[in-house]
A and B are shown apart, each in its own frame.
Chain A
Amino acid sequence: MTEINYLFLIPLLPLLGFLFNGLIGRNTSNKLVSLVGCLAPVASFAVALIGFQQLVGISTPSARILHQELYEWIGSGIFNIKFSLILDPLSVVMALIITGIGSLIHLYSTGYMHEDKSYARYFAYLNLFLFFMLVLVLADNLLLLFVGWEGVGLCSYLLIGFWFDDLDKAGAGRKAFIVNRIGDLGFFIGMALLFWLFKTLNFGEIRNAIAQNPAMIGAGTATAIGILLFIGAAGKSSQIPLYVWLPDAMAGPTPVSALIHAATMVTAGVYMVARMNCIYALSPVATGLVAFIGALTVFYAATISLAQNDIKKVLAYSTISQLGYMFVAVGVGAYAAGIFHLMTHAFFKALLFLGAGAVIHALAGEQDIRRMGGLREKLPVTYWTFFIGVMAIVGCPFLSGFFSKDEIIWYAYAGPHGHWLLWLLAVASAVLTMFYMMRLWFVAFTGEYRGSVDSGEPGANHLHPPSGWMKFALIILAAGSVLSGYVGIPHMWKSLAGVLGLQNLLGHNHFEKFLQPVFGTPLLSGRASMGAVPGAFVPTGLNNWSSMIITLNLLVVGLVMAWAIYFRRPEGDETFQKSLPGLWRLLQDKYRIDEVYGLIFVKPLIATGKFLDQRIDMGITAVTDFFGYCSYLFGRGFRSIQDGHMQTYIMAMTLGLIIFVLLMAII
Chain B
Amino acid sequence: MPYEIPTIHVILLGATLFTIGMIGVLVRRNMLVILMGIELMLNGANVVFVGYARLLGDMGGHIWALSIMAVAACEIAIGLAVLVTLYRDRRTLDIDDWQLLKEKQVPKEPEFPG
Contact = CB atoms under 8 A, between A and B. Distances in A.
Interface of A: 622, 625-626, 628-629, 632, 636, 639, 642-647, 650-651, 654
A622 B95 contact: no
Contacts of B105: none
B101 A644 contact: yes
B2 interface: no
Interface of A is mostly: helix
A626 B114 contact: yes
Contact of A650 (B26, B98, B110): B26
Interface of B: 22, 25-27, 95-96, 98-99, 101-103, 106, 109-110, 112-114
A546 B101 CA distance: 99
A622 B114 contact: yes
A625 B110 CA distance: 10
Contact of B102 (A622, A632, A644): A644
A161 to B, nearest CB: 39
Interface of B is mostly: loop
Given A642-B102, A645-B96, A646-B95, A654 B110 contact: no
Contact of B110 (A632, A642, A644, A645): A632
Sorted nearest first, the 8 A-B pairs with minimum C-beta distance are A644-B102, A625-B113, A644-B99, A622-B114, A622-B113, A646-B95, A629-B112, A626-B113
Given A639-B106, A642-B102, A647 B26 contact: yes
A636 B103 CA distance: 13
17 contacts: A622-B113, A622-B114, A625-B114, A626-B113, A628-B113, A629-B110, A632-B110, A636-B109, A642-B102, A643-B102, A644-B99, A646-B95, A646-B98, A647-B25, A647-B26, A647-B27, A651-B26
Contacts of B25: 647, 650
A625 B112 CA distance: 8
A145 B109 CA distance: 57
A27 to B, nearest CB: 46
A651 B112 CA distance: 34
Contacts of B102: 642-644
B45 to A, nearest CB: 13
A619 to B, nearest CB: 10
Contacts of A642: 102-103
A398 B8 CA distance: 127
Nearest to B102: A644
B104 to A, nearest CB: 10
B22 A654 contact: yes
Nearest to B112: A629
A626 B96 CA distance: 38
Contacts of B103: 642
B31 to A, nearest CB: 9
Contact of A654 (B26, B98, B106): B26
Q: Which of B27, B102, B109, B114 has the most CB of A within 10 A?
A: B114
Q: Which of A643, A644, A645 has the most CB of B within 10 A?
A: A644
A645 B99 contact: yes
Given A642-B102, A650-B26, A629 B113 contact: yes
B5 to A, nearest CB: 25
Given A622-B114, A645-B99, 12 more contacts: A626-B113, A626-B114, A628-B110, A628-B113, A629-B112, A642-B102, A643-B102, A644-B99, A644-B101, A644-B102, A647-B25, A647-B26
A359 B103 CA distance: 70
A654 B41 CA distance: 13
Contacts of A625: 113-114
A616 B99 CA distance: 47
A307 to B, nearest CB: 56
A632 B113 CA distance: 12
Nearest to A647: B26
Contacts of A643: 102
B76 to A, nearest CB: 18
Contacts of B27: 647
Nearest to A657: B22
Q: Which of A636, A642, A647, A654 has the most CB of B within 10 A?
A: A647
A649 B114 CA distance: 38
Nearest to B96: A645
A12 B106 CA distance: 61
A625 B96 CA distance: 38
B82 to A, nearest CB: 13
